[in-house]
Chains A and B, each alone.
Chain A
Amino acid sequence: MAANNINAVKFQELIHGEKPVLVDFWAPWCGYCRRIGPAYDQIAGQYGEDLNVVKVNIDEEPGLAEVWKIEVIPTLVLYRGGQAIDSVTAPQSKADIERFIKAGLSR
């Protein structure tokens, strides 16, 4: 299962929903963002039951990047109940991303 790109409207709907949301803020010109892609899609498949796993292209949604103060990409942010509960920039491995998710969800 691939992680879908969402727009600002869908973003608002999801982060206020029941399930926590993991967002990958990225852009097509960011080389390291692409490296995250294949592992991130796998994570969408693995964690899909507990978590909405999505992406935001900051070139298409600059407003979201500004509101959530995304200065560096790729940045992954975990949201619950409309709030950002944690973030990680440029994770080094799929295992890094999984550690980040598990730590965030156990809070």
Chain B
Amino acid sequence: MNERRMYDMVVVGGGPGGYSAALYAARAGLDTVVLEKLSAGGQMALTQQIDNYPGFEEGVDGFELGEKMQAQAHRFGAVTEYAEVHGVDFTSDPKVIHTSEGAFYGRTVVIATGANPRELGLAGERELVGRGVAYCAACDGMAYRGKTVVVVGGGNSAVGDALLLSRIAKKVILVHRRDTLRATKVYHDQLRKAENVEFRWNSAVAQLLHQEKVTGVRLRNVLTGEEETLDCDGVFISVGRKPVTEFLAGAVALDGSGYVVADETTAASVRGVYAVGDVRTKLLRQVVTAVADGAMAVHMAEEYLAENA
């Protein structure tokens, strides 16, 4: 075992949950490393303006907030390694994290890998990201001023995206596979009042039409099979999120959607392993709930380390 890579706590993922755990751990005197594959902030780093994180009355840029959280954890002695995690072994003591930069060893592990937008799985979808296909209206909406956009989905985030885009775009067409929205009632009236929003119920996107950029979509009615072509400049896909848990491969219990099963204590099914932020089973996925998880995980880890000294 490489002694240099032995830590009290290994945090996998450098978003707000991960760096809050690192901050609390470092302040508690735990030797802590954060393994991050690209840069601090996670999904938050792609949000230009965060208005619901307290303490920033004018809002705060998500990327900057990520860098600040990282710098704050570093100030107390936590370190960051740029490493992509490939697999884990939680049966050994210490626990092992296999990465692109070799193995890291932790007496405790915090899983903070977050969740990414779910894709529709259409031909050309990945290649067209940034050329008409988008997953974040708040991030990419401004590019569609005065244009026509399709929003796919029927949950709160899809409806929120449609509302936001209705204030920017010329026309918004909401495409949903069912005949009603799953979104919270307060959104419904707002959406019906927006004069430039149209609906296509019981419909799914069958094909992305494009040259260099998206030019339209082919819709299929899921009940009748009837097809329709819509011209549009952009397609915002808002059909939920996919947790980043493939690397765990049976090491801890996951729920049916792939989230790490853990309650408010953040304790996962293996002792000494904690799940924080969007990757955990929880009702509300926000920056403030992620940072709360980070603090809780360290509280639990300190108890565990005291019992297993």
| A residues apposed to B, CB below 8 Å | 31-32, 34-39, 42, 71-73, 90, 92-96, 98
Main secondary structure of the interface of A (DSSP, over half): helix
Q: In the complex, what's the smallest C-beta–C-beta distance from A101 to chain B, in angstroms? A: 13
User: Is there contact, CB below 8 Å, between B46 and A94?
Assistant: no
In the complex, which residues of chain A have a beta carbon less than 8 angstroms from the beta carbon of B289?
none
Q: Which chain A residue shows the least CB distance to B42?
A: A35
CB-based contact B39/A36 at 8 Å: yes
A94 to B83, CA, bound (A): 7
Please tell me if the beta carbons of B139 and A35 are within 8 angstroms of each other in the complex.
Answer: no
A7 to B45 CA separation, bound complex (whole angstroms): 28
Closest to A73 in B: B130
Known contacts being A31-B63, A32-B46, is A95 close to B83, with CB within 8 Å? Answer: yes
A-B contact count (CB 8 A): 55
Task: Find A92's partner among B37, B47, B48, B101 (CB 8 Å cutoff).
Answer: B37
**Chain B residue contacts of A92, Cβ below 8 A:** 37-38
- Apart from the given pairs A39-B39, A42-B82, 9 other A-B contacts in the complex at a CB distance below 8 Å: A31-B45, A31-B47, A34-B45, A39-B38, A93-B82, A94-B38, A94-B84, A95-B37, A95-B100
Interface CB pairs A-B, < 8 A, 22: A31-B63, A34-B45, A35-B38, A35-B39, A35-B41, A35-B45, A36-B39, A38-B38, A38-B39, A38-B40, A39-B38, A39-B39, A73-B130, A90-B130, A92-B37, A92-B38, A93-B37, A94-B84, A95-B83, A95-B100, A95-B101, A96-B84
What are the residues of chain B within 8 A of A37 when measuring CB–CB?
39
Cβ of B212 within 8 Å of any chain A Cβ, yes or no, is yes
> A34, A39, A42: which has the most chain B beta carbons within 10 Å?
A34
A35 to B37, CA, bound (A): 10
Report B's interface with A, CB cutoff 8 A: 37-41, 45-48, 63, 82-84, 100-101, 129-131, 139, 212
CB pair A72–B45 under 8 Å, yes or no, is no
Chain B residues whose C-beta falls within 8 Å of the C-beta of A42 in the assembled complex: 82
Residues of A within 8 A of B82 (CB): 39, 42, 93-95
